[in-house]
Structure formats: structure tokens, C-alpha cells
Structure 1
Amino acid sequence: MSELASESMSVTESPLLFDPYDYAFHEDPYPLYARLRAESPVFHAPADDLWVVASHADVREVLRDDRTFSNRMGVSLDASAWTEDAHRVMSFLALDGDEQTRLRKLVSGAFTPRRVRELEPQIQRLTEHYLDRTFAANTRDGEVDWITDFAGRLPMDVISELLGVPEADRDEARRLADLTVHREDAVRDVPVDGMTAAFELIEYFSALVKERRKTPADDLTSALTQIENDGDRLSDEEINAFLFLMVVAGNETTTKLLGNALFHLAANPDQQKEVYAEPEDLVSDWIEETLRHDTSSQMLARYVNDDVELSGQKVPAGSKLLVLLGSANRDEEVFSHPDVFDIHRAKDELGQSLSFGTGRHFCLGAHLARLEAKVVLDELVRRTSTFAVHADRAIRVHSTSVRGFRHLPVTFTEASA
């Protein structure tokens, strides 16, 4: 037997393990996802005593059945976050049934599609401001850190404009939000710094809500203090939780989307040329394929209320279950050549993407994330003729919930005037 064949057999026969805290897994989870779908689409990971669901069909079923697969313990697999009090920081993401419907309906009454649309001029202004700074640094240094200089800044500013967070507080809010999702090597829970950051953010928003109740402004926080539905209003605690969710989930996932978009298009230079040649047709397709191919939100936890069977595997009541959105979006049963990044992917396939979830917990901020990405990437393509990502020096975020980059060195070639 050849050395290569022996090595191949060794890899094939290696035990199937799932460790969501493993830094090597964060670098590239997709080979393991493929093995799970092929060998054990509903897999028990004994180290963390959780069930992992990898196929598109099963992930979709779990997401659409919150009676069997409850959100009441939250959506994070971290032990300290797995609690019936999770709604205090995760808002309606950690509620089911009538409680979830009530809270989401109230929040939706303030966080309307119209309010999101009205943000577009501010997003455009912020995009131009940060691109001016980014391109100046690119000219000076020959490259920039796309995350530090742009993608890590703009989404927080957009959320802050929406919520009414003053400019002077935004850098600190961004720092705290980053800490809440970072995971330390060999620490199988939220690190102490992350817990401290979460408490500080909640305290900050508590003070902001109290201020807006006394002196309303033209922002979402004020709207949330005033919204009413048949005499029902949001409590301060409920508003605080939603603001925390917006800053952590809304900011972090959009930052990662903007980084992932540049990373994957640069790795496919022929497709990059096509986007520059036909931006009015292809920028939106670029965004949607990025969301499918390498989604910012990789996994969500659920609590199993009743004994259930998925793909022939019995999962007992009381279990912690993890749905792998990133795996579902690469399922061979749904997507043709799923590991290929393809901006020309058929619309019916893209419509099967689970990046923003499905059912009653479909992401409330999906429209805002898409709007931000569209404004940014439209303007980027308009003002440059090409860009190169220095992938060998890129550094990933290490997180059990989001996938993206902490640092992404990029060189831009600005378009001639």
C-alpha cells in the first residue's frame, strides 16, 4: 500500500469528533461538516453532551418547530449562557410561542422596514467617510486592514445611529461587543472578559433607556419606550435585552459578512472581474452567495422538549441540540457544487439558504444587513478597479457563534477619475 493511500485510509477511519471550541475547527469547519452529513447527520458529541444537526432538511425542521426544539435556554452553546434567564440578554431569540410573538410584535412596531429604509442616506454617508479614510491609508501604506479600518467600524456606527448611541461611546461599545463573542483557546465557555463586557453593555443600555424615557429623541431606543399594542408596552428590561442583541448580533454578523465577501471574491478573480463589469446586476448576487457559502452565523442551540427522531436518530428530551447553519448551506442534497463560490448560483438554490434562519425566528435584522452590504459594496466597486486580499496574513475570529476575520489585509486599486 502506498504512503498516500495509507494516509488517506487513516484520515477516513479517524474518529468523528465535534469540538466547537477548537481553533483548528474555526479555521475551516467545512470538511467536518461534510463528514457529519455523510456519516452521522445527527451526531452526539459527548465532550459537551450535545447533539449536532448537520443536514439542511433536519436543520430546517428544527428551526421551524420551536415547540419541540425550544429557544427558552437561549441560542448559545456556552454553559454560562445556557439558562432560562437567557431572554434577559437575547430578547425574543430566547423565547417561544406566545411570549416570543408578543415581544417580537412590539419590537417590530418600532423597528419597521420604513425605519431601516430611512437609514440608507446615513449608511451611504458613513460608507463614504470610512472609505475615504481607508483609501488614504491604502495609498500611504500600500494596504489596509479591511476589518480594523472599515468593516469593524461601519456596522457599529449604523447600529449606533439607529439606537441613538453617541459617537463618543461607539468605540467602547464596539470593543465590548467584540469581547462578548471571542472565545479563548482551551476555555469551553464565555471567558471572564466576555462576561464582564456583556454586563457593561447591559448597564450602558439600561442608562440609555432611562434617559430616553425622560427625554425622547428621534431614534429606535426612544421608539421602543413609546411603542404600544393594545395597552401592552415593553419594559426597560425587555428593551435593554433587544438593544444588547442589536449591538452584538447585528454588528458582529455584518462585520463578518463584509470581510467574508471580499475574501471569497478575491479568491475567485474571474468572478471579481465580472462583478466590476456588471455591478448593477452582480453585487446583490455576490452578497447572497457570500451569505450561503460562508455564513457569519454558523450555529444555534436549541433545548429539546420531547423525545424526537431526526434522520433515524433518537434524541432524548432535555438534550442540548446544535443546528449547523454553515453545514446546511453546503448540503449536497440542496446545492449544486456546494463548496464552490459561485455568484451565478441559481436563485432557487439561494432561496434555500438558512443564513438568517427560517420560521418565527427568522432574523429581524436581515433587511438591514443586506442594505448595509449593498451600499458598501456598490460604493467599493464604484471607487476601485480591483482589490487583492493577502490571505496568508489574514487572522480569523475565534468564536462558537460567528465566523469571519479579526484582521484582513487588503490592497485596493482605486478607479481612475
Structure 2
Amino acid sequence: MYVSTLPEVPFYALSRHADVWTAWRDPARYSNSHGVSLELWSPQARRRSSFISMDPPEHTAFRALISRGFSPRRVAELEPRIRELTRARLSTAVEMGGFDFITDLVQRIPVDVISELIGVPEADRDQVLAWSNLLVQRDEDFTMPHSAIEATLHLVGYYTDLIAERRRRPGEDLVSALLAAEIDGARLSEADICAVLLLLGAAGNESTTKLLGNAWYQAARHPGQRALAFAGAIEAWIEETLRYDSSGQMVARLVTADVTWYGQRVPAGSRMLLLGAAANRDPRVFPDPERFDLTRDTGDLLSFGTGPHFCLGAALARLESRVVLEELVAAVREDYEIGTPVRMHSPNIRGFAALPTVVEPR
């Protein structure tokens, strides 16, 4: 266990796979009530991040409501539409030959998908994407810059208007479903619905976009593994990227009762970081963890968490990633080249803001 020496942000951190797994599955001792990141730590975190900043049983009821839109059947039904959107975006990129893998291609596909689920009109999606990208940016000291705060306010205003529109004219989208839903006989407040939309709008973009960028980058760095990927090992490509280059690095928890780790007392009220990305490199679980290897067993990876807070969008992120990579492999030659990437500046999210790519069509 790591103990922070920074007096302004005191925290503890767990990095071993078994320790992270144990804490993740114990929401009674390791609470989400103050959010999942140190820089946004607050007892009012649910106003911004909705049900991921709740604990059972409230979290259980809220999650069950949202999960209806992400059921296995509903996710599977999205595949033809995801493939259609991918082919449309990809054909334009391939024609250019040189393009930015992030901004010109992959970030637009999950945004289209989540926007259709939420009910964001096509004409508004570029603006919503721009605000969502600003929302997750951080300054050099990892605090929220003014641009991120401003983008949050813009998104809150936009979603508030969208909620009002669906009150007047309900549709088949998630906003309409949330307006009609009840938890313990009570309707959701506008603030609760808006928080769900903020969460899904950002998470629906970030998780898939960063996963795909990391997969594309790591395959280029490991030509032998890229050959396996282009020979058909798409799902292994995704899973090993999730392990080797996790886009989600860590989550924070509030310790609710005194606990002891390795002889060190951690008092109630402490901040505990669960380092999922480090757990995915634990040699006790993943032999030779520094090797990018599509043939390894990734069954124990923790990239989407575990327990009651297992990522609700994991199946959708995997589906989107599989479809996009399948279409890429079918459309371009294996020996693509990447230029100098630009990494996103974030304490929690690992991935690229830009990834120049040159391809040749098959």
C-alpha cells in the first residue's frame, strides 16, 4: 500500500490485483459517496456524476433503472447501426490516406451512438462532443480549468433544455424513459436526470475513444502482435489493450471505517485510490505483465472494475471497439504508420487527444 506524502491531498493507494479486487467489491467500507476522483472529491459528487457517486442500496436502484438502456439485448441490437456509422466515418478517413485517428474517426462513432440513445439531434452532436472533450481536461496541477467548468455549465444548460423538450414531446430515447421512471414511487428530479446525461455523454465518448486509440497505438508499436490482430484476433486485441494500456487508471473511494493494510492503519474518512491499471500489471495474476501479448489469458483484468460498480457501459464499449477494429482491418493494410501522438492531460484517463495515422486501403 502506498501512503501519500502530499499534505494538501492526503490519500492511500492499493495496487495489487487481490487488494484492488477486494476493495472494489466492498462498498460498505470503500464508499463512492464523494465521487471517484481526487480532483473532484466532494460530498455533493452525485450532482455531477450521478449514480457512480452513490452506494447501495440507492446505487442499486438507480443503476437498475439506467441499465435497461444497456441490456445485453439492447446492446446487441445496436451492432448494425454501429457498423453503418463506422463505415461512413471510415470511408472518408481512408480516402484522405492521412488522418487523425482520434478526432477524424473514432471519437465520433461512440458520440453518435450515445447521442442516439440519449436523444441528442445530429445537428447538435459536434457541439456536445466539443463540450464533453473540454469537460474532462485538467490543468497542470490536475484541477479543473475554467474551460472545463464553462463546458460543464453549457452541457447542463443543453441537457436541461433537452429534458424540457422531452417533457413536452416524449420519444423513444433515454431521456423520455428517465422522465417516466420512478424509484420507490418517486419520479427522478431534473437534477438527477441531468447528472445521468452528463455522465453518459462524457463516459460514452471517453471509454471507447481512448480504448481504440490505445489499441491502434500499441499494435503499431508491436508489429508481431499487430499481425495477429489483423489475422482476426480482434477480441484479444481489445482485451489485451484493456489490460496493458488501461484507459481508466484509477478510482477513488472514501474509507468509512478504520481498516488495516500491511500493518498500516487507515483511519475512517481517508481517501483511498484503487489503482486498477497497476492491478492489470500484477505479475501474480498476469505473468510477464510488461509484454503486450494477444495470446495471454485476460480473464481477470480489472479495467471495467468489479462488484456493484462494474462499468455499466462495458458491453457497449467492447462492441463498439470490436466493430470499429473489424472494419479497419477489412479496409486498410496492416502496415499503417502513426505519427507523433498527443496525450490527453488527465490524472485518471490514459489516452490520446490526437494520433496522426497514415493508411493504405486494401
With normalisation by structure 1, the TM-score equals 0.83
Aligned-residue offset at 1:228: 4.1
Alignment of 1:137-176 (within 5 A): 137-138=96-97, 143-176=98-131
Distance 1:315 1:244 in 2: 33
Aligned-residue offset at 1:148: 1.3
AA in 2 matched with 1:43 = V
Alignment of 1:14-413 (within 5 A): 41-47=1-7, 48-78=9-39, 81-138=40-97, 143-185=98-140, 187-228=141-182, 231-277=185-231, 279=232, 282-346=233-297, 350-391=298-339, 393-413=340-360
Contact 2:219 2:226 in 1 (8 A): yes
User: Who wins on radius of gyration, i.e. which is larger?
Assistant: 1
Equivalent position SS for 1:414: coil
Distance 2:69 2:82 in 1: 19
Aligned-residue offset at 1:414: 1.2
Spell out, residue by residue over 1:141-176, the C-alpha distance to the aligned partner (whole angstroms, 9 max, x if none): xx2110111122111111111111111111111111
Aligned residues: 361
Aligned-residue offset at 1:361: 0.3
Aligned-residue offset at 1:253: 1.5
Contact 1:111 1:220 in 2 (8 A): no
Distance 1:352 1:259 in 2: 22
Distance 1:204 1:400 in 2: 27
Spell out, residue by residue over 1:311-340, the C-alpha distance to the aligned partner (whole angstroms, 9 max, x if none): 332211111111111111101111111111
Aligned-residue offset at 1:269: 0.9
Spell out, residue by residue over 1:371-395, the C-alpha distance to the aligned partner (whole angstroms, 9 max, x if none): 100110111111122143435x111
Gaps of 5+ in 2: none
Distance 1:274 1:304 in 2: 43
Pair 72,230 (structure 1): closer, same or farther in 2 beyond 3 Å: closer
Aligned-residue offset at 1:114: 2.4
Distance 2:119 2:41 in 1: 30
AA in 2 matched with 1:338 = P
Contact 1:298 1:403 in 2 (8 A): yes
Match of 1:14 in 2: none
Distance 1:408 1:382 in 2: 20
Contact 1:50 1:322 in 2 (8 A): yes
Equivalent position SS for 1:144: strand
Aligned-residue offset at 1:230: 6.1
Q: CA RMSD in A?
A: 1.5
Identity of aligned residues (%): 46
